[in-house]
C-alpha cells in the first residue's frame, strides 16, 4: 500500500510565520494533476481535498504526530509523518493501484459472502451492526488459505462507515485485515478520516463512555504522567510455559495426522492424537501470574531526545475502575456503581513511541487483549477528540 513515491519536497520557505500549514500539489506519474484526492491527518477530523490543478492547503490545529494521508480510490495510498513535511511545499506523486490479485479470491457467491462477512464484521466493526454499518460492504474481497486457515480481507474502495451512536461517518482505507483462525488472532490496519454528522447530548454521552478507559485514554495518561490520577492500575505479568499444552513435536504430529486424514479419509483416530487435540483446544500455551503490582510509569517508559517510549520486557495488565457517565438534567455525571475492566498489553521487549494524542508508533504491532481488544470501529473516536466534545 505504500509503494507511492513522494518525488519532491521543496524546502522553499513560502512563508515565514509560525502557522502550521502544509501546502503542495498532487500529480500522477506523467505529471498531470489529480483532483479530489483526500488529504487528511490520519485518525482525525482534519482534512481537505485537492483542487482541479492538484493543489491543496491543509491547516493543522496544533502540533501532532499523526501521519499525513493522500488517498484516492484506484490509486496507491501514500502516508508520511507530519513532522517530515510541516511548513514545506510538497509535490506528491500517486501511482495507479494494481488490480487485486484474483488467484486466491473466493469466487463470489452468496454462500461464500455470508460465510465470512459476519466474522469480518464482528472482528472489525463490533457488536452493534444496526447502528454502525459499512455502507459499501459489498465491495469487500475475501481470500482464504485453507491449509493454514488464514482469512484475508481487502477493500478496493474506501469503506464508508456510518456510526450513528458516536455521530460520525468514517472514510476508512483498509490496508490490511488478517485473521489466523488456527491461533484465534485477528489484526487490522488502516487510515481513517472522520466527518461529524451529529453532536447531540446523547451522542456526546456515548463518546465519553467510549473514551473513558480506552487504550487511547490510557496512553494519553501515560504521556501526561497521570496514570494513577486517571484511575488506571498497571501490574506486571510474567508468562510461564504451560506443561499441559502440546509440545512442538506433538503439534507437528497432529498436523501430519490431519493431512493424512484429509487425503485418505481415515475414520479411526488414535488415542494419542485425540489427547493432543484436546490439550490444544483446552489449554493455553502459557500460564500467567502477576509478579509486580502498581508499577509506576518510570518502569515501563523511557525518554529519549524529548520523546516518550513504551519500553518493557514483560506483559502488562491494566485495570481500570470505570464509572459510566450518565445524562441527568442536561448534565454529564459519573455513575455510582463501578465496573472493573482489565486489559493486557504485550510490549515484551519491543519499543513503541507514545504520542500526546494517545496513539503509538506501529499500533498494529502492539498486541492487546481484554477490554482494549474490544475497542473496534464501533468505539473508534478521532485522535483529536477531547472528553466532552
pLDDT of residue 373: 87
Strand-pair category, 21-27 with 89-93: parallel
Query: Which domain, by its residues, includes 41?
Result: 5-93
| Measured CA distances, 381 to 100, 166, 208, 284, 376 (Å) | 30, 8, 10, 33, 10
Whether residue 161 sits in one domain with residue 110: yes
Same-domain pairing of 238 and 352: yes
Domain termination residue (choose one: 198, 231, 256): 198
CB 22 within 8 A of CB 5: no
For residues 89 and 161, membership in a common domain is answered with no
DSSP string, 42-111: TTBS-EEE--TTSEEEEE-SS---PEEEEE-TTB--EEEEHHHHTT-EEEEE--BPPPPP-SSBPPP-HH
Same domain, 225 and 120: no
Same domain membership, residue 294 and residue 162: no
For the CA atoms of the chain, what is the radius of gyration?
Answer: 24
Query: Which residue's entry shows cell 486457515?
Result: 149
Q: What is the pLDDT of residue 67?
A: 87
Among 93, 126, 154, residue at a domain's last position: 93
Residues 6+ apart with CB under 8 A from 58: 21, 22, 23, 39, 40, 41, 46, 47, 48, 68
pLDDT of 102: 41
Contacts of 370 (CB under 8 A, 6+ apart): 341, 342, 343, 344
- The conformation of residue 169, written as its DSSP 8-state character, comes to E
Residue 288 forms beta bridges with which residues?
239
pTM score, whole prediction: 0.82
* Cα 359 to Cα 318: distance, rounded to the nearest angstrom: 17
Taking only the tens place, the pLDDT of each residue in 341-362 is 999 999 888 999 999 999 998 8
pLDDT on residue 62: 67
* Residue where a domain terminates, one of 71, 93, 115: 93
Instruction: Give residue 116's pLDDT.
Output: 86
| Same domain assignment for residues 278 and 330 | no
Contact between residue 192 and residue 183 where contact means Cβ atoms under 8 Å apart: no
What is d(CA 1, CA 97) in angstroms, rounded to the nearest whole number?
9
Based on the fold, state whether residues 291 and 305 are members of the same structural domain.
yes
Alpha carbons 20 and 88: distance in angstroms, whole number: 10
Angle between helical axes of 248-264 and 271-282 (0-180°, round to 10): 120
Say yes or no: 272 and 233 in one domain: no
* Confidence (pLDDT) at 4: 35
Residues 296 and 385 both lie in one domain: yes
Are 113 and 27 within 8 A, CB to CB? no
Residue where the block lists cell 507530519: 82
163 and 112 within one domain = yes
Check residue 63 and give its pLDDT: 61
Residue carrying the nine cell digits 474506501: 158
With cell 486466491, the residue in question is: 104
Nearest of 292, 251, 300, 294 to residue 275 by alpha carbon: 251
Q: What's the total number of domains in the chain?
A: 4
d(C-alpha 236, C-alpha 289), whole Å:
8
Buried b (16+ CB within 10 A) or exposed e, 263-277: eeeeeeeeeebeebb
Query: For residue 11, what pLDDT is reported?
Result: 35
31 grid coordinates: 505529471
Longest Cα separation, the chain: 79
CATH code of the domain covering residue 80: 2.60.40.1120
What pLDDT digit, counting tens, does each position of 101-141 carry? 443 445 445 676 677 888 899 999 999 989 999 999 888 88
pLDDT of residue 152: 87
Residue 339 is predicted with a pLDDT of 95
Nearest 5 degrees, angle CA 41-CA 45-CA 47?
Answer: 50
Q: Give the residue from 65, 97, 86 showing the smallest Cα distance to 14.
A: 86
CA angle 368, 150, 113 (to 5 degrees): 105
For residues 329 and 216, membership in a common domain is answered with yes
d(CA 82, CA 101): 32
Distance CA 188, CA 175 (A): 8
Q: Which residue ranges in the chain fall short of pLDDT 50?
A: 1-18, 100-105, 107-108
Asked if 121 and 160 sit in the same domain, the reply is yes
Nine-digit cell at 27? 500529480
Amino acid at each position: 500500500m505504500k509503494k507511492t513515491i513522494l518525488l519532491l519536497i521543496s524546502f522553499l520557505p513560502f512563508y515565514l510565520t509560525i502557522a502550521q500549514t502544509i501546502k503542495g500539489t498532487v500529480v500522477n506519474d506523467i505529471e498531470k494533476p489529480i483532483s479530489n484526492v483526500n488529504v487528511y491527518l490520519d485518525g482525525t477530523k482534519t482534512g481537505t481535498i485537492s483542487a482541479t490543478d492538484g493543489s491543496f492547503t491543509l491547516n493543522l490545529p496544533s502540533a501532532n504526530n499523526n501521519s499525513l494521508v493522500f488517498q484516492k480510490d484506484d490509486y496507491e495510498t501514500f502516508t508520511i509523518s507530519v513532522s517530515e513535511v510541516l511548513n514545506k511545499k510538497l509535490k506528491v506523486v500517486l501511482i495507479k493501484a494494481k488490480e487485486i490479485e484474483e488467484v486466491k479470491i473466493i469466487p463470489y457467491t452468496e454462500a461464500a459472502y455470508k460465510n465470512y462477512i459476519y466474522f469480518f464484521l464482528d472482528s472489525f466493526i463490533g457488536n452493534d451492526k444496526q447502528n454502525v454499518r459499512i455502507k459499501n460492504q459489498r465491495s469487500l474481497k475475501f481470500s482464504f488459505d485453507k491449509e493454514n486457515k488464514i482469512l484475508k480481507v481487502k477493500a478496493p474502495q474506501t469503506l464508508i462507515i456510518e456510526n450513528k451512536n458516536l455521530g460520525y461517518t468514517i472514510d476508512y482505507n483498509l490496508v490490511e485485515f488478517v485473521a489466523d483462525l488456527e491461533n484465534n488472532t485477528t489484526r487490522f490496519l488502516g487510515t481513517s478520516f472522520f466527518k461529524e454528522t451529529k453532536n447531540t447530548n446523547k451522542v456526546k454521552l456515548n463518546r465519553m463512555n467510549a473514551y473513558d478507559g480506552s487504550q487511547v485514554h490510557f496512553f494519553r495518561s501515560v504521556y501526561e504522567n497521570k496514570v494513577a490520577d486517571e484511575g488506571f492500575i498497571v501490574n506486571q505479568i510474567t508468562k510461564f510455559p504451560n506443561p499441559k499444552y502440546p509440545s512442538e513435536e506433538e503439534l507437528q504430529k497432529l498436523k501430519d495426522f490431519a493431512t493424512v486424514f484429509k487425503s485418505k479419509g481415515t475414520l479411526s483416530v488414535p488415542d494419542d492424537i485425540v489427547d493432543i487435540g484436546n490439550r490444544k483446544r483446552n489449554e493455553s500455551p502459557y500460564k500467567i501470574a502477576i509478579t509486580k503490582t502498581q508499577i509506576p510509569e518510570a518502569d515501563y517508559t523511557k525518554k529519549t531526545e524529548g520523546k516518550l517510549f513504551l519500553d518493557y520486557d514483560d506483559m502488562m495488565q491494566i485495570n481500570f475502575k470505570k464509572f459510566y457517565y450518565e445524562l441527568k438534567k442536561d448534565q454529564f455525571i459519573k455513575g455510582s456503581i463501578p465496573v472493573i475492566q482489565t486489559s493486557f498489553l504485550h510490549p515484551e521487549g519491543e519499543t513503541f513511541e507514545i504520542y500526546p494524542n494517545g496513539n503509538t508508533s506501529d499500533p498494529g504491532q502492539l498486541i492487546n487483549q481484554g477490554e482494549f481488544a474490544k475497542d473496534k470501529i464501533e468505539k473508534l473516536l478521532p485522535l483529536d477528540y477531547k472528553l466532552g466534545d
